[in-house]
Structure 1
């Protein structure tokens, strides 16, 4: 870290430690609030419309997990969290929360990272092109970005399923486990992020092109392509970089609509089912993992931003 940031290395180490401490505190607060909201909802987590337990079995489970004593139940779950053990789940008696997360989290991570990579590959060139090419071409690119922001993902997903899965029959209409099942949910999840990245890139490029150093470089005879991509684009990309942290976390944690449409067995499916069935253990596990991903990605992007922009390193010292 010291070699990475030079003389500001010690400052950055203190900054990282402070951010990690705040992240741990935030995670604990999220955990506590999620628990309070879960136990305050009326209903019986041990009974459901599909499964009816015998009274003696339900009494034994209540005594085992202390679900009637919220204080002890909270401490039991929290002590497990300190060991990275989220405990049992009421929906799946033969599975633990850790086993469910071990299967579902890689699916959501693959889908989210694929979507963000696709969004960057679409949004950055589209935004830069619309900023440089004025007129009809730029207006068309801006319109496409606006449509990508406005259309909900469940409508986009349904249209893609109907077109490529039902009519053209070149993609599966649901399920997971093959390469052919990845493109449609990836594109569906990526389009809103690509649209916003395109707008950020366009605004950043337009602002960068108005700077004095750009006009000076062009006046000195430096080729326009080199000025655009070597001088203007790095400045324009900083807002996009700041957005990538929370956007990536959102893609990883907010994909449950896409997972539902395409029958993807990710964390979103289990999160929705846990909320509907008042499964405190699994619900808290999903929310805790989601919060940890948000904190981790925001910290990672802030560090990269500080490495690129010296002004951020100066702010970190305060």
Structure 2
């Protein structure tokens, strides 16, 4: 197992290199720059700012300098917030995204798994149809529609919750973004769980377990569920990376100072280092969570071995 983990980590190095390279040059191809948005900025001041941040160097020199900084764990300075580095901004924003994303993912996995099992056990009945209808609606309605409707109904109409903002981190401030983040994931998990559980319940070893007189609880939890969880584990890896590094739409609509909102502001202001730092962070999370998924495969399914 250790050899496999080390091999995966080594293969992640060229993957990260390709991601960083493509993202870096694509950012530079976009029109404008971090100091082109200032109206009436003196050309001399602009030239001095570009010289200070080495933006007057050739593109290759900027690229090599950025790679050198990353090798030392330096994401670079921010162009729009001179008092902060990208690492300091991420250190302040990441806890908000992780807190909301982890709760939303946990609720989606637990509730989606339960709903999927119920739908599979009552296949082609009213409970199954209700779960399918809910899952279909949750997976097709985008978050930029769910979030404003949630604010309109629960905040502006009923006045049960605040419209947005983090406030002091109270539960009422978190409910809106958590529910909005959770619903699409819950719908996908429920549909995956339903399909995989139906397939697992039709397996030969499940029929044998029933023939031996095992209880329904033992058959479902100890035998069928273990195999049915594999698609959920596969999906949980990239879903966790996306949620824990912040949702761009949800954090922007609910005014949550997380990574997603920093990415939006950085893209609007052509803050190259903030956007690049977000891309690198998401790539690292994705690679790590996919590695964790592969390890969990070996734990859940005894047929999987990484010798």
Q: TM-score, normalised by structure 2?
A: 0.94
- Structure 1, gaps ≥5 residues long: 1-11
Q: In the superposition, relative to structure 1, how do residues 308 and 137 fare at CA in structure 2: closer, same or farther (>3 Å)?
A: closer
- Give the alignment of 1:158-237 within 5 angstroms: 158-176=148-166, 177-237=169-229
Residues 115, 186 of structure 1: 8 Å contact kept = yes
Work out the CA distance in 2 between the residues paired with 1:52 and 1:215. 76
Work out the CA distance in 2 between the residues paired with 1:65 and 1:158. 39
- Of 96, 99, 110, which aligns to 2:99? 110
Aligned to 2:90: 101
Partner deviation per Cα, 1:113-156 (whole Å, 9 max, x = no partner): 11101101210000000000131111111111111111111111
- Of 290, 297, 302, which aligns to 2:282? 290
- Give the drift of 1:196: 0.8
Q: Which runs of 4+ in 1 moved over 4 A?
A: none
Aligned to 1:249: 241
Residue 111 (structure 2) pairs with residue 130 (structure 1): no
Residues 174, 181 of structure 1: 8 Å contact kept = yes
Moved more, 23-32 or 293-302: 23-32
- Give the alignment of 1:132-147 within 5 angstroms: 132-134=121-123, 135-147=125-137
Work out the CA distance in 1 between the residues paired with 2:215 and 2:304. 30
Work out the CA distance in 2 between the residues paired with 1:239 and 1:45. 43
Work out the CA distance in 2 between the residues paired with 1:55 and 1:179. 48
Partner deviation per Cα, 1:133-190 (whole Å, 9 max, x = no partner): 1311111111111111111111111111112111221211110132221111111111
- Give the drift of 1:308: 2.4
- Give the drift of 1:52: 4.6
Work out the CA distance in 2 between the residues paired with 1:148 and 1:295. 27
Residue 70 (structure 2) pairs with residue 81 (structure 1): yes
- Give the alignment of 1:26-105 within 5 angstroms: 26-49=15-38, 52-68=40-56, 69-105=58-94
Work out the CA distance in 1 between the residues paired with 2:193 and 2:24. 40
RMSD: 1.5
Q: TM-score, normalised by structure 1?
A: 0.91
Work out the CA distance in 1 between the residues paired with 2:148 and 2:111. 21
> SS state of the match for residue 276, structure 2?
helix
> SS state of the match for residue 311, structure 1?
coil
> SS state of the match for residue 84, structure 1?
coil
> How many equivalent pairs are there?
303
Structure (1 or 2) with the greater helix fraction: 1
Residues 192, 231 of structure 2: 8 Å contact kept = yes
Residues 135, 190 of structure 2: 8 Å contact kept = yes
Residues 145, 199 of structure 1: 8 Å contact kept = yes
